[in-house]
Structure 1
């Protein structure tokens, strides 16, 4: 076994604290990764606090992981010792269902869906079969740690043009916004609306702009107006009814990145006929949708979940090619609880990324 140290929550009401555990030795077709950086995602907070009612404790979060390959198992051909690599939200899937066979591992239809980088299978803990699940484990520990062991085909290559700390949030925030824009065919010249201007919204705006779209971001925060100007995109305050009315039936695609329950009805009228508003930020129930707003112009409200492995590699390469990435602040792991508080209270405009070398401060204490 491989000794490991990370930060974990023991209960829904507890702070993240140092946690020692063990990883399995690297096996066939597996890669051992020394973690350098891990992004802080809003879903980490939801999971730690059991807000989706499926958290398995102890919970070691982290699914925006960048590190270097330290060891490889028999049969590994995609990666070599010393490679800079990334791991996103998934570390395995059933590999046999139709979505997996089609390359959509993020929609795995196996008994437990895809295997999450942390918090084990994507099912409520009470439904995990006795003795584990089809992956042989009922919990997984994520990237708020010094080492990971992952199947080689679920490990992504970090392009040399991307700084590793900048690449980390692209593994979730980047692909979560890129994937639906690709699926719904966003192209140069399209008018794209981004609802919410947090970590996801920032990446969505940058990606859409790099695709050649005409981008408008909708926010409730007047202080985000200057941020839009810096990025070269338009910013509209959601409560400005005159501006919303002026934008009626003008958007080819809209993406909601708001991370909690919200009302999409005010934005449906901004779509052109036959166009879609896709929700990626919230996994809980939304406010009821007025179908009359949809039916009269054949519009759609849809959902999208992270992205598959091909999309994740593609967005990493796209960001490297276009010189874009999230605005980040690198923090020590010892500051993680304060970072969570600031994210929850909307006190940050960037993505936190943990420098995992700071774990040594605990080990040396």
Structure 2
């Protein structure tokens, strides 16, 4: 197990107009499963490669258990990194995949055989050592990924989109093989993924990055309930939060006939009179009365269990799109005008200029 600290970690690639990651400050606890999440190009893979020693730092430091890694060679760091697309080598059997990092280190055949057998038993792969990865169901494939990562007895495991290309989402949190094996072994694990669904399935805590900047770190509940910036709000959830522009006047923001009080603390934190109102699809209501947002249905999706109503409404300076999740009751027809209500206790407010959440 290991504790990791990123201190102002920055990486700038030659010829790039902006850093791949910039001034990242992140503490990963001993034995924690930290998920690095965010859209493609947000810096997740670069951060893992910096930790593993495959990318140098232009500025800042990375520490493992208090040891600065600046002068530590990649093979001496105790970091096992499985890169995207190479978590399992397709033409090798499960046994050969587990053995691969050991044979690369020129371990003896006896030591390799013993370690493969040990990990096969621990990960429940005894009956599948001769199979190739594509023949395994998703659960066993995750177990094989963890067995391969654990083979060299690392202090830290880094998994970069390990399930990329499988088209299969992770299983629910309490049954996710990667998460359950990580907890059994008590090893520190960093898991990079573009999927907020995958992140919520397994994480102890989530670090959300966007364009190389770390925006928020917290438990899944904290990040979902109180997204710290617009970038987090746009990434978290499926569908993500609706963000509707509004103007603050006399301590209130108006969207259609929906009036939202903006308290003194929020007013003091604003850099202008422009805000973004965050409304989750689940917190919007469809009605036909007054006192809400007048919108027009532009698309209605039926998933069998629910409807997603895509609507358009007039806002100062143009239009805004809304997505409403409807699990029961009637839904509007395409092109129909209707009123959208909102649970005012669930409204999120952001400064339109800075993108930061208002207190």
With structure 1 as the length reference, what TM-score do the two structures score?
0.25
Question: Which is bigger in relative contact order (C-alpha 8 A, separation at least 6)?
Answer: 1
TM-score (norm 2): 0.26
Over alpha carbons, which structure has the higher Rg?
Answer: 2
**Quick check: which one's strand share is greater?**
2
